[in-house]
Amino acid sequence: MLAKSLTRWLQQNLGFAAAILLLVVLCLVYNILHPRGFSSAVAIQNSNEAVAIVFVAMAQTLPVLLGGLDLSVGAVMTLTNCIASELLHGSPAQILLGVVVTLLSGTAFGLMNGIIVVYGRIQPIIATLATGAIAIGLALLVRPKPGGDVDEDLSWALTNSVADFAETYGIADGGQAWWLSPFADIPVPVILVIVVAALVWIPFRRSVTGRTVYAIGSAEGSAYMSGLPINRAKIAAFTLGGFLAACGGLYLAIQTSSGNADIQQAGAYTLNSIAAVVLGGTSLLGGSGGAIGSLVGALILRVISFYFRILDIDPLLQPLIEGVVLLTAVSFGAFRTLRVKNKLDLFR
Amino acid sequence: MRRLVSAENKPIAIALGFILVILLIGTGYTLSTTGTAPLLSPNYLLQQLQIGAFLGICAAGIMMVILLGHIDLSIPWTLTAAAMTATAIGGDMAVPTALAVGVAVGLVNGIGVAWLRIPSMIFTLGVDTVLRGLMVAQTGGFAPQDTATPLMVFLAKERLLGIPAAIFVWAAVSLAIVVILTRTGFGRAIYATGSREAAAYLSGIHTRWVILGAFVVSGVCAAIAGILLAGYSAKAYQGMGNVYLLPAIAAVVLGGTHILGGRGRYIGTLIGVILIVLLNSVLSIMQMPEAGRQIIYGAVIIAMLLVYGRNQRVLS
């Protein structure tokens, strides 16, 4: 019985399972090859660098589930990154306000995307191409030159281990409390990602709105005929995408203590997010997959780039290797063509 | 009552009207500030079209792919790779080699999308990354020292009969695309495949070869743009193609081509390119900072698409 349901889960989530397997293997080999072995410091540094792309990839997942694409996620992340770099200093209340304003601005931008797509009835890919340009323009207005002022305590606390977090803010006896010790070495960014995934994504997926997003991606006409709230689901998907992109921008500002309205960087984040979504087993046709898969996909992309640090590879070859790995990974999707029984199923 | 403009031509008519509006606003601005009207002088317009030729040729190629309902994100580095190979080879073989690079990239893209059935969005993105890697490994990450051959410089910079040669190249490419789309079986097969691939397949069209062909055309167009751009700047440099991808897609869509494929006319793409080029030049005459440019650019695309009339409420 259990074996049967496990087999069924595997059949339905083949891409996701493969992604997890790939990530586990990559991480194991990485930690074996690492000259200093597995240590908290390495885990903290690597997880810090992975957070932004993880959030952006999760943001990209929602429009992809609808069968669309959001070309503005990188730009929204850049915009919120710039806003956060302006606001995150001063008294604790001011910082908290800054965090809220940053997240709200990203969410509002996502809401605007959703409204344009739903009521403007423009294809998501082209609508977000245009709103992405607007987001970059706003980011340049907020921060014409790279730089910023982010509270140092906040930056330190959120980019280190749980013990350092507790020590910075003097909670749990300055990080020495006995009940904290099992978690003391876990990097804070890992906890942040897990909290957002557990408190935002999973409830959303289980709600009617979330299920409707999947239904629209599978067959929009049928979803409409079944009386599902199509418009609400689409707007919610883009709004949540904006929120998750804002989480990425916020964390990037905290991590780097600065904001940078860089068009190239925004484009790179958008394209990498698409790659991460696909690697995580979400279908670009919509209707299957999930943000957790994208999280894993983004981690795979990052771990591959971490390998360059510990292996003695010519830096000039790095982009080539990254590209070949990406191309090979997505080419495994071609096995689908071998399993198709009716050739017409290919043309979807 | 008969409609004045058919549904297919409506975007084209609106885009034309918008070009006039841009010209009027730009001229009004220059008249009020300097008292001259450079935007309306033929020489200035020709110069803008010369710069627009790079974008126009990229857009022509990507339109073939968009008509199929696919997309080609490998344009930037196909362009750069072609330009770098051409300058590295030099001599008489420079241009043919660059074109061969374009054909090769198109073949890889086509095989990945048509035979392996990997979504074009991600496959061409992967090809783009691989090309970037190859070029970085080849050049060491710097702009190569090789200069463009005289032929490339001639094609990009010189004038024939007072008209920049680049415009002739653009016109030749445009003519070829129009003939392909409207006068050949391949062109009709592109529209059929883009509308519904299963139906096209059942009616005997070799849809895989059609997809392959469209990607090859796109690759070749990117390579031609690369040859011209390298000639224009006298050499190839890293990331020279990055600024052309999104404007090219925007131009195709503003010209009325449906992003999901099957519908669109080449004349629309041409007008879309001119619109974007003029919009850019008016914004630079106004000395608009980059921030304002991006916002206006995005707002214009959204506004025009809203005017064009919208999709169905529910996609079946």
To 5 degrees, how large is the angle CA B49–CA B55–CA B59? 125
Is A137 in Cβ contact with B259 (below 8 Å)? no
CA-CA distances (angstroms) from residue A159 to A52, A57, A311, B11?
12, 20, 25, 51
> Which residue of B305, B308, B312, B313 to mutate against A (max A Cβ within 10 Å)?
B305
Q: Give A-chain residues touching B259 at CB under 8 angstroms.
A: 123, 125-126
Find the Cα–Cα–Cα–Cα dihedral B82, B87, B91, B97, rounded to 10°.
-10
Distance from CA of A333 to the nearest CA of B (A): 6
| CA angle A112–B248–B106, rounded 5-degree value | 125
In the 8-state DSSP scheme, what is residue B146? P
Residue B189 lies in a domain: yes
Instruction: Show Cβ contacts of residue B60 under 8 Å, excluding neighbours closer than 6 positions.
Output: B173, B174, B177, B221, B266, B269
With CA atoms as reference, report the closest residue to B54 among B164, B130, B145: B164
Full 3-state SS string of chain A = CHHHHHHHHHHHCHHHHHHHHHHHHHHHHHHHHCCCCCCHHHHHHHHHHHHHHHHHHHHHHHHHHCCCCCCCHHHHHHHHHHHHHHHCCCCHHHHHHHHHHHHHHHHHHHHHHHHHHHHCCCCHHHHHHHHHHHHHHHHHHHCCCCECCCCHHHHHHHCCEHHHHHHHHCCHHHHCCHHHHHHCCCEHHHHHHHHHHHHHHHHHHHCHHHHHHHHHHHCHHHHHHCCCCHHHHHHHHHHHHHHHHHHHHHHHHHHHCCECCCHHHHHHHHHHHHHHHHHCCCCCCCCCCCHHHHHHHHHHHHHHHHHHHHCCCCHHHHHHHHHHHHHHHHHHHHHHHHHCCCHHHHCC
pLDDT digits (tens, 9 = 90+) for A180-223: 777 777 888 888 899 998 888 889 989 999 999 999 998 888 99
Q: Which residues of A touch B315 (CB under 8 A)?
A: 220-221
Residue B1 inside a domain? The answer is no
The mean of the pLDDT values for chain B is 85
Which residue in this structure is represented by tokens 């374009």? Answer: B102
Cβ contact B268:B177 at 8 Å: no
Q: How far is A103 from chain B (nearest CA, A)?
A: 21
CA distance A88 to chain B (A): 23
Nearest C-alpha of chain B: how many angstroms from A33?
24
Binary contact (A122, B310; C-beta < 8 A): yes
The DSSP symbol for B39 reads: G
Name which of B80, B296, B302 to mutate to probe chain A: the one with the most chain A Cβ atoms within 10 A of its Cβ: B302
> Shortest Cα distance from A221 to chain B (angstroms)?
5
Please report residues of A whose CB lies closer than 8 A to that of B137: 314, 316-317, 319-320
Q: Among all chains, which residue has been given the structure tokens 């340009």?
A: A133
d(CA A241, CA A55): 9
Question: Between B122 and A297, where is the model more confident?
Answer: A297
Query: How high is the pLDDT of residue A90?
Result: 81
Taking an 8 Å cut-off on Cβ atoms, the answer to whether B250 and A284 are in contact is: no
> In terms of residue numbers, what domain contains B26?
10-315
Q: Which residue of B has its CA nearest to A319?
A: B133
Residue of A nearest to B125 (CA): A271
Kindly give the residue spans of alpha helices, DSSP state H, lying in B140-206: 150-157, 165-183, 185-195, 197-202
pLDDT at residue A146, rounded to an integer: 84
User: Does a structural domain hold residue B307?
Assistant: yes
* Chain A residues within 8 A of B295 when measuring between CB atoms: 133-134, 137-138, 141
* A308-324 average pLDDT score: 80
Asked if the model's pLDDT at residue B214 lies above 70, the reply is yes
Q: Which residue of chain A has the CA closest to B239?
A: A264
Confidence band, pLDDT 50/70/90 cuts, at residue A304: confident
- The answer to whether domain A39-331 has CATH 1.20.120 is no
As for how many domains chain B has, the answer is 1
| Closest CB to A327 among B127, B140, B246 | B127
Segment A283-293 shows an average pLDDT of 85
Question: B130 and A285: CB-CB below 8 Å?
Answer: no
Instruction: Please tell me the predicted confidence (pLDDT) of residue A289.
Output: 85
Contact B126 A327 (CB under 8 A): yes
Mean pLDDT of A43-66: 90
What pLDDT score does B110 carry?
92
User: So what's the pLDDT on residue B1?
Assistant: 39
In Å, what is the CA distance from A339 to each residue of A342, B88, B199?
9, 44, 21
CA pair distance A287, A303, nearest whole angstrom: 27
Residue A228 phi, psi dihedral angles, 5° rounding = -75, 150
* Helix axis angle, B245-254 to B266-285, nearest 10°: 120
d(CA B160, CA B148): 19
Query: Under an 8 A CB cutoff, do B122 and A275 touch?
Result: yes
Quick: pLDDT tens for A118-171.
988 888 888 898 899 899 999 999 888 888 788 777 778 777 777 777 777 777
* A chain contacts of residue B239, beta-carbon cutoff 8 Å: 264
A103 pLDDT tier (thresholds 50, 70, 90): very high
Distance from CA of A201 to the nearest CA of B (A): 24
A187 bridge partner residues: A161
- Domain residue extents for chain A: 39-331
* Chain B residues in contact with A133 (beta carbon < 8 A): 246, 294-295, 297-298, 301
Q: Report chain A's mean pLDDT, rounded to a whole number.
A: 85
Q: Quick one: pLDDT at residue B314?
A: 57
- Token look-up 């305590």 returns A153
Does residue A60 have a pLDDT over 90?
A: yes
Determine contact, residues B114/B201, Cβ cutoff 8 Å: no
CATH of the domain at B76: 1.10.3470
Q: Is residue B5 part of a domain?
A: no
C-beta atoms of B133 and A320 within 8 A: yes
Predicted confidence (pLDDT) at residue A100 exceeds the cutoff of 60: yes
Q: What is the pLDDT of residues B246-280, one digit of tens each?
A: 889 889 988 888 888 888 889 999 999 999 998 88
Which residues of chain A does B122 touch, with a Cβ-Cβ cutoff of 8 Å? 274-275, 278, 284, 330
CB contact under 8 A, A337 and B117: yes
| Chain B closest-CA separation from residue A105 CA (Å) | 16
- Is A136 in Cβ contact with B294 (below 8 Å)? yes
Tell me which residue of B250, B244, B283 sits closest to B269, measured CA to CA: B250
